[in-house]
């Protein structure tokens, strides 16, 4: 932490906000961001902000922190996204490794950064969110996945509010955007998961543990992979093939 003391007493110290990578000083209970940590601009903005704060009777020069300092609402969408990814990589972990959720967040954020990375978060609203959503639709994803990725973006801004990086009204506005409904905006629907043919079940019954078949059927999520090595192109059982030879283990998807 870097402090600005000089011959003055009780001057707020400048610290490093790791989430955004910026220098930040707290004035009157409000975080004021001073630019990228460790740069000449960062230190100059801090000195200027403190000087104006003192000259104004230890009050911010203006509600928006004018005079060179940047408040949390002056962060760009790109900086917010990077901070959220850093948080997600540390939070969503299992057995010491990032979970699939981190990858999903990255995929959701990509069009956001590409379209509005340089936009201040204070200016990101419902129209911008809908533009990002349309880009996700145009990529060919199904409606359910489009809605999931859009919700992740809204949560991103909600996290930013918790971290005093996003004005609350930005998040409130984004929450008003409803998910796409079936048949809306030409977005495609996901393909229906169909049950496994009974012939497949009966053909492999001698080669799998009885408990794997449950009440005569196996969860459909296992079947595309599980039956690949057991049947030929004509859906005929391959004679002589044993379950272990397919390399498939029950319980995996």
Q: How far from 168 is each of 52, 76, 140, 231, CA to CA, in Å?
A: 26, 15, 32, 57
pTM above 0.75, yes or no: no
Taking each helix axis from N to C end, the angle separating 168-175 and 143-162, rounded to the nearest 10 degrees, works out to 160
Question: What is d(CA 177, CA 147) in angstroms, rounded to the nearest whole number?
Answer: 10
Tens of pLDDT, residue by residue over 220-247, are: 444 444 444 555 555 454 544 444 444 4
The per-residue pLDDT for 9 is: 53
Question: What is d(CA 5, CA 80) in angstroms, rounded to the nearest whole number?
Answer: 30
The per-residue pLDDT for 11 is: 80
DSSP string over 101-126: HHHHHHHHHHHHHHHHTTSBGGG--H
The per-residue pLDDT for 3 is: 37
Tens of pLDDT, residue by residue over 45-75, are: 788 778 777 776 676 654 444 444 445 546 8
Question: What is d(CA 253, CA 248) in angstroms, rounded to the nearest whole number?
Answer: 9
Question: What is d(CA 100, CA 189) in angstroms, rounded to the nearest whole number?
Answer: 23
The per-residue pLDDT for 4 is: 40
Q: What is the DSSP letter of 222?
A: G
Which tokens in the block code for residue 198?
């009974």
The per-residue pLDDT for 124 is: 93
The per-residue pLDDT for 103 is: 93
Please name the residue that has the structure tokens 């048949």.
183
Q: How far from 104 is each of 92, 146, 176, CA to CA, in Å?
A: 11, 12, 23
Question: What is d(CA 200, CA 219) in angstroms, rounded to the nearest whole number?
Answer: 13
Query: In tens digits, what is the pLDDT along the chain, a chain of 253 residues?
Result: 333 444 345 788 888 877 777 888 887 667 787 877 877 777 777 887 787 777 766 766 544 444 444 455 468 898 889 889 888 888 889 888 889 999 999 999 999 999 998 889 999 999 999 999 999 998 989 999 999 999 999 999 999 998 888 899 999 999 999 999 887 767 888 777 777 777 777 777 777 766 555 544 444 444 444 444 555 555 454 544 444 444 444 444 3
Which tokens in the block code for residue 195?
């049950």
Question: What is d(CA 70, CA 80) in angstroms, rounded to the nearest whole number?
Answer: 14
Question: What is d(CA 250, CA 96) in angstroms, rounded to the nearest whole number?
Answer: 25
**Environment class of residue 212 by beta-carbon count within 10 Å: exposed (0-12), middle (13-18) or buried (19+)?**
middle
Query: Bridge-partner residues for 25, per DSSP?
Result: 14, 32
Question: What is d(CA 158, CA 202) in angstroms, rounded to the nearest whole number?
Answer: 51
Q: The domain 77-175: what is its CATH number?
A: 1.10.150
Q: Tell me where in the chain the CATH 1.10.150 domain(s) lie.
A: 77-175
The per-residue pLDDT for 221 is: 43
Query: How many Å from the N-terminal Cα to the C-terminal Cα in the chain?
Result: 48
């Amino acid at each position: 932490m870097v402090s600005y003391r000089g011959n003055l007493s009780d001057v707020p110290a400048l610290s490093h906000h790791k989430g955004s990578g910026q220098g930040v000083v707290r004035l009157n209970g409000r975080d004021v961001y001073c630019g990228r940590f460790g740069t000449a601009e960062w230190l100059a903005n801090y000195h200027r902000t403190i000087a104006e704060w003192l000259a104004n009777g230890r009050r911010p020069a203006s509600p928006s922190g004018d005079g060179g300092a940047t408040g949390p609402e002056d962060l760009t969408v790109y900086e917010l996204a990077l901070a959220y990814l850093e948080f997600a990589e540390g939070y969503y972990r299992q057995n010491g490794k990032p979970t699939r959720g981190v990858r999903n967040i990255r995929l959701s954020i990509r069009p956001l950064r590409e379209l509005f990375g340089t936009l201040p978060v204070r200016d990101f609203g419902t129209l911008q969110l809908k533009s990002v959503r349309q880009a996700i639709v145009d990529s060919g994803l199904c409606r359910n996945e489009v809605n999931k990725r859009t919700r992740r973006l809204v949560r991103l801004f909600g996290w930013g509010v918790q971290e005093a990086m996003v004005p609350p009204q930005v998040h409130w506005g984004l929450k008003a955007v409803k998910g796409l409904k079936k048949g809306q905006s030409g977005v495609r629907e996901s393909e229906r998961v169909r049950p496994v043919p009974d012939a497949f079940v009966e053909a492999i019954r001698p080669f799998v543990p009885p408990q794997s078949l449950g009440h005569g059927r196996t969860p459909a999520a296992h079947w595309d992979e599980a039956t690949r090595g057991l049947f030929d192109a004509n859906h005929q059982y391959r004679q002589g093939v044993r379950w272990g030879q397919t390399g498939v283990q029950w319980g995996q998807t």
